[in-house]
Structure 1
């Protein structure tokens, strides 16, 4: 691992080597967290005793493999620079040239949260979703990282592609409108509404491949078989992220449950024996209605019933 960290410091590390290093940190996250936290605190104390060093950043320990990776590389730089924490973790090929401010936004609510990025692009974060980006885009690409369900409206810039880095893939665009859903660890879904995007990924043989998406198309990646499946966007569910209006057009209960689950961070359980094929046409304004009001409205127009068990937990009854 030490050789890989040195390569990272010198910016000579390959993509495969970096992926191997990230995997090491993911597998040993707990023990590495504790070890590096103790090491950093020790070094701080020693430097504080010998030099009058003004700390350039407040260190906040977060259990995050990418953050841990940054700290590990910083430890190798201490001898030359003294102690400071490099917080730039925005790109795989980023050079370790100095302090870069990073902004992080987490949506703890149950309605989408609008985030304006430094280049004028806009991201709407679904419930329990997260985005991390530099306070100013200074490199040749505008790169961000996100987790959960995020809708992007990207400002056009032909000289600086907009890049979204996910766990299993990498999305590159110039200016477009698309949605990313990587809520769980094993699957990623990308839906393109306008423009064009390129999605890079690796297959089971570890070959670097890519797909090009056109408006109205969707890509689904499964980590289990390392494959991308390209389909058309489901027309039964239409979401206007700006207005918060969701339109169901002949949608099944499974489509409704998935959509409301992502939007409101709730769980709608559908028993295995549930057999209804009923489809509904319905329009809901999520900014004017609570989830309980939405469920009550659906119950008025369907033959089945969605029953509330407890806060955030519902069950479909035949």
Structure 2
């Protein structure tokens, strides 16, 4: 049986054009491996699996190119050799389909992209619970995997790079290894880091990929067809409290600030105590302190605002609440523009 005839056989079964004997054999083998949790075989599955199945069938026959197939008799007389071949084909089909669904279903993202780095020997971890699960990676890095999310990674990372496949949402804390960059593949988006902590997630409704940085720096790229083909010309570098959103509709990155900016952890061995109590302090100095604490650029639109005195206790407040108090005290307002916060106002009354 040639490859063309093989495809014809499968299509005949799906179209309901097999003889009763052939149909009985197909359903017999399908019934052996089927269980109540398995989806019925569809034409789209055959299209995805046909190359894999043909390769497996060739490896199980003596002839590497053509599988012998008796010619069907006009009266469709029962032919045991033909049915045996058909049964073998169907068994390989169903076994391959089931293995593909279980082991490599993660590799195809919801936007239809198939990663080229999938291969045997990778571990698949899926969080089927309703709580986040912490997964230890081979290099000592960790992933806090959100419910109903999956990752796939090798039992041992390569000597020159570390690669992870993600579907869903995961917060990564990566061990710093400058000679072995860490890559997270999510659909057509690649996140590259050396050592940091960051969040990667795919939004369920819009299919947008969101990357948020907690510490360190990451670069996000658009991946085309293969790992080696990465569009670095439009790479986005993100710093702490910054995020990038990739939309599959327009294939563009949009940068911004995370919803809840956090204080940047000190790189020193001992954490530095930060005070947000201000007594008649010029606004420019207050803003400088906030910029240093959060790693976010905050711009005063009017230079007359620089010397406005501020007396306030901003301790134990999140950044946006701190900005609300500052604006209320200085009769100004603020807006987030990309990764920058702009404070607008006329300045102090005595200027």
TM-score, structure 2 normalization: 0.44
**What TM-score, normalized to structure 1?**
0.48
Structure index of larger Rg: 2
